[in-house]
Chain A
Amino acid sequence: MMTPLLETRRLSKQFGGLLALDELSFQVQRGEILGIVGHNGAGKSTLFHLITGFLRPTSGEILFEGHPVTAWPPYRRVRRGLAPTFQQTRLFYGLTVEENVRLGCFTQQRGGLRRFLLGTPHRERLTMQRRVNEILALTGLERFRAQPASQLSSYGYQRRLEVAIALGSGPKLLLLDEPFGGLSPSGIEEMGQLIQTLHDAGLTIMFIEHRMKSIWSYCSRLFVMSGGRLLIPQPAREALHASR
C-alpha cells in the first residue's frame, strides 16, 4: 500500500488542564478532499495548527509523505509541500494582488550569491511570471492584479487570494482553515467550485469547517470531530445522514 500523504499518530495537545486533542490518529490519502467538521471547541483548529506547525503537540507524531515533521517549524513544512491558509483571512494587505501571489511563490525562487550579484536570470523571471499568471487565472483574480489587496471589494475575493497565495508554494497538500466561513451562499458555491477545480488539477485538499450542511458535497471523505477525538470516518453523504 502507498504511504498516505499525511498521517498523524496518537496526536495529543494539552492546554493547561484542557485536553484539546486526545490521541488522534488519521490519514490523508493522495488525491482526496478531506473535510473535518465539528462544533466549536471540538479541537479542529488545534489539529490544524499542529499540522501546519504553528503549535507543537504534547505527544504523538505527524508524518508527511512518511517523514516525521513533528518538530519542524511552519516554513519547512511549506517547503515540503504543506501549504496552509488561516481561519481569519491573512493577506499582505499593503501589496497588490499580484505581489501577494508573487510572495506566495517565495519557495519557488532561488537565492544565492550569484543571483545576488547578477540578478535573477531572465528565463527564471519569465517562468515565475507565467506561474503567477496561471495562479491568478485559476483563482479568477486576473482582473484585480494591480489592485491593493486591502481594497479587494468582496470578502469572497479576499479568501480566493488567500488560496492563491497558498498555491504559490506548489503544495502537495492544501490545508484550508474554514474556507467557507463568513461567505454568502453564492460565495460558498464559488469556493466549492475552486476547491473542485484544484482537486481536478491533482491537488490533495484537507479543510476544516464547523458547518456541515453547506459543504458536505465538496468533499470525498468527511470526519466528524468531537471532544478532541474523531468519530468514525465515513464517506461524506453517510456522515451527513449519521449526524442527523
Chain B
Amino acid sequence: MNDWVALGQFALNGLFTSSVYALVSLGLVIVFGVMKIGDFAQGAFYVLSSYLVFTVEQYAGLPYGIAALLAVAVIAAISWANGQLVYLPLRRVGIGQTFIGALGVLLVVISVLTLIFGTDAQTVASPWGSYTIRLGGIAISAQKALVIGAALVLIGVTAFLLRYTRWGKALRALSQNEEAAALTGVNPAATRGLAFVWAGVLVGVAGALMAPVWPFEATSGTLLVLKAFAITVIGMGRVRGVLLGALLVGLSETMVQAYWSAQFSDLIPFALLALVMLLRPQALGPDEGRSAPGAHQVQQAIRWPGTVYLALAAGLLVLLSPWWAQMDNFWLHLLILMGLNVIMVSSLDLLTGYAGIPSLAHAGFWGIGAYSYALLMMRWGWPFPAALLGAASISSGAALVVSLVGLRLRQHWTSFTFIVGVIITMLLTDFETVTGGPNGLIGVPAASFVLPGLGPIILNPFRDKLGYFYLVLALVLLVLWIKRRIVRSHMGQALVALREDEGLAQAVGVPTERYKVGVFVISCGLTGIAGGLFASYLTYLNPQFFTFEKSFNLLVMNLVGGSASLLGPVIGPAALTLFAEWTHAFNQSIAEIIFGLLLIWTLIYLPGGLIAGSRRIMRKIMPLAPASLPK
C-alpha cells in the first residue's frame, strides 16, 4: 500500500474515533452547562444503550434499526430520570457531592450490567454485514460510515438547538447565571430536564451505533467517558472547542497507534488536557464555583477527643490484646485492611475535609508509596523502617511537584487531580521495566525491624497476622495523633480558613498557596506510609490496586463516615470495609450495587456522614441543654 493511501486510511479511522468522542463529549458539555459537573454516568448509559440493542435484537427478534431507536428512547428517559432523582437532590447538598453521585451511578449501572450479562464481551451483528465502502484505496465499513454520518447530523442539530431555539438560549442563559436566567423568565427545571434528555439521546445514539462495531462489556464506557470529559475540558466547554478537541484527540490517538505504539495512546487525551491546563488555565470554561453562602453546611464546632481519650483508646486496645490474640486470621486480615483504609482516609480527610481541597488522586499516591517501598526493598535492599520512610518521602515529593503545577489551575483542581490519578495508574502500567507493568511486582519483602528488648522481628504476612495487626494499629494511632496535632495547631486554623474562603483567608494573613502545597504534601506522605505497609503485607503489587476507582472509594468512605473530624474517617472505612467483606461473600456485583445506592442515599439524606448522624441520635437519646442561641 502506498504511504499516502495508508495515511488517508488512518485519517479516516481517526475521524471515526473522533465522531464517537464528539457525541459523548457533547452530551457532557450540555449537562455541564446546567449542573457544573462532569456527568460520568453517561459512560454507563453508553454501554447500556449497546446492551439494549443487543437484548431487543436477541430476545424480541426486532430488526437492528428499531432496536437502536428503542434504545435511544430508553436511554434518553433514563438520563432524564437520573437527573431528576439523583443530581437535582444532590445539587442542593453541593457540587462535590453531585460529582461523587455521578460516579456512584456509573458504578451501579456497570454492576447491574455485569450481574445480568456477565463479564464476557458481547457483539451485535451489523445490518450491513461486512459491506465496505471503498474510495480509491481507502476503505470503511458501512457501520462506521453510519457512525460518522450520524455524528455529523447530531452535531449540526445540537448546534442548531443551542443557538436558535428557546431551549438552547435558556440553557446558555442558565449556564451563565442561574438566578439571572430565572428572572428573565427561563424555567430552570424544564430546561435542565431537556438537557438531560438530549445528553441521553447523544450518548444513546453513540452506544447503539457502536454496538455492531466493537465487542462491548459492562465497563466499555468508562474509559470513553473519562476521555470525553478530558475533551470537554480541552474544548473549554464550548461546542466548537469540543468538536476540535474530539478531532484532535481522535486523530492523534490513531496516528500514534499507527506510527509509534499503542502502548501510550490512551494517555493522549489526558496529556493534551494537562497541556491545555498549563498553558491556558484561565480559559477553561466556567468556574466550578464556590457555593453560595446560604448553601453552606454549617460546620458544628467540632469537639475533638482530647489526648486523654486517644491514650485511653490506645490503652483499651492493648488491654484487649488477649482478645485479638485468639482471633482467627480472617478477622485479623480484615482488621489490617481496615487499619490501612483508616490511614488513607484520615490523611485524605486532612486535605478534603479540613482544607476543602478534593483529591481524586489519593490512591495514586498510595500506589507511589507502595511501589517506592517495593523497589527500595527489592532493588536496593533498604531496611524496612527506612523503606517505609522512603515511600512516604517519594510520595510527598511527587505530591510537591503535582501541587506546585496544579496550584496554578485553581478552580480546575478537582479535574486536575482526577487526571493525575489516571496518569499515575497508566504510568505504573506502561513502565514495564521498572514496575513490572500490568503483571505488577511479586515477592515484595515483608516487614522486619528491631524492637528494643525483643530483638529482631521478621513478620510473615501469612502466618503473623497478629504481628501485622499491631504494626498497623501503631501506625493508625500515630497518624491519628499527627492529624489531631495538625488540626489543633496554627496550620489547622489556616486550613479551615482556606476551606471556607480562600480570598478572605489571604485577607487575614494566611499564605494560602504555601498551606495548600503543605497539606497536600503531608496528606500524600501519610498515605505513602500506608502504601508501603500495604505492599509489605500483600507481598505483591498490581497497578489495578491504585486506580481512580480506589480514590473514589476513599472519598466515599470519608463522606459516609463524616468529613472534617477525627472519628468520621475511622468509622467510615471500618464500616465500609466490613460491609464490602460481608457483601462480597455472596456476589461482587450485588455488593457494588448496594454500595453505590447506599452512597447516593448517604449523600442525599445524611450529608454529615455517619458521625453527624450518630451525634444527632445521641442528642435525641440524651438531650443536652441546647446551647442557647439568641435570635
Contacts and interface: CB of A to CB of B under 8 A. Distances in A.
Contacts of B512: 75
A109 B299 CA distance: 22
Interface stretch (B60-68, B172-180, B200-208, B481-489): B481-489
A contact residues, range: 35 or more
A52 B509 CA distance: 11
Given A116-B485, A117-B485, A150 B509 contact: no
Contacts of B630: 143-144, 147
Contacts of B507: 52, 74, 78, 83-86, 90, 165-166
Interface string A123-140: 000000000000000000
Contacts of A73: 506, 511
B506 A75 contact: yes
A86 B293 CA distance: 15
B488 A96 contact: no
B291 to A, nearest CB: 9
B626 to A, nearest CB: 11
Most buried by A among B296, B509, B630, B631: B509
A150 B494 contact: no
A107 interface: yes
Interface in A92-126: 92-96, 99, 102-107, 109-112, 115-117, 119-120
Contact of B506 (A74, A92, A151, A165): A74
A119 B504 CA distance: 26
A9 B44 CA distance: 61
Contact of A86 (B486, B488, B504, B627): B504
Interface string B500-536: 1101111111111000000000000000000000000
B496 interface: yes
A188 interface: no
Contacts of A231: none
B253 to A, nearest CB: 38
B489 A116 contact: yes
Interface string B257-286: 000000000000000000000000000000
Contacts of B631: 153
Nearest to B482: A116
B493 A169 contact: no
Given A75-B509, A83-B507, A86-B503, A106 B298 contact: no
B296 A93 contact: yes
A146 interface: yes
Given A84-B507, A147-B629, A94 B297 contact: yes
Contacts of A94: 296-299, 499-500
Most buried by B among A94, A96, A115, A120: A94
Contacts of B297: 94
B519 to A, nearest CB: 13
B298 A103 contact: no
B497 interface: yes
B490 interface: yes
A79 B509 contact: yes
Contact of A92 (B294, B491, B501): B501
B496 A95 contact: yes
A24 interface: no
A75 B630 CA distance: 34
A79 B627 CA distance: 35
Interface in B578-631: 627, 629-631
Contact of B511 (A75, A83, A150): A75
A151 B296 CA distance: 11
Interface in A58-92: 73-76, 78-79, 83-86, 90-92
A94 B356 CA distance: 12
B301 interface: yes
Contact of B299 (A76, A95, A104, A143): A95
Interface string B300-328: 01000000000000000000000000000
Nearest to A98: B301
A106 B488 contact: no
A175 to B, nearest CB: 10
Contacts of B494: 106
A116 B503 contact: no
A95 B344 CA distance: 27
A111 B489 contact: yes
B629 A146 contact: yes
A148 B504 contact: no
B298 A148 contact: yes
Given A143-B630, A153-B631, A169 B508 contact: yes
A103 B512 CA distance: 13
Contacts of A143: 630
A38 interface: no
Contact of A95 (B294, B488, B500, B503): B500
A169 B298 contact: no
Contact of A165 (B496, B499, B508, B629): B508
A193 to B, nearest CB: 22
A228 interface: no
Contact of B301 (A78, A91, A99): A99
A92 B511 contact: no
A83 to B, nearest CB: 7
B135 to A, nearest CB: 49
B504 A92 contact: yes
Contact of B508 (A54, A120, A146, A168): A168
A150 B296 contact: yes
A164 to B, nearest CB: 11
Contacts of B493: 102-103, 106, 109
A110 B629 CA distance: 31
Given A96-B301, A146-B629, A150-B294, A54 B504 contact: no
Nearest to B494: A106
B504 A90 contact: yes
Contacts of A165: 504, 507-508
A117 B478 CA distance: 12
A237 B511 CA distance: 41
A184 to B, nearest CB: 19
Nearest to A165: B508
A120 to B, nearest CB: 8
Contacts of B505: 103
Given A103-B497, A150-B293, A75 B510 contact: yes
A107 B508 contact: yes
B500 A92 contact: yes
Contacts of B298: 94, 148, 150-151
B492 to A, nearest CB: 10
Most buried by A among B497, B504, B629, B631: B504
Q: Name the 5 nearest CB pairs between A and B, nearest first.
A: A111-B490, A78-B509, A107-B509, A92-B500, A74-B506
14 contacts: A54-B503, A73-B506, A78-B506, A78-B509, A85-B507, A95-B500, A96-B301, A102-B493, A106-B494, A111-B489, A111-B491, A117-B485, A150-B296, A153-B631
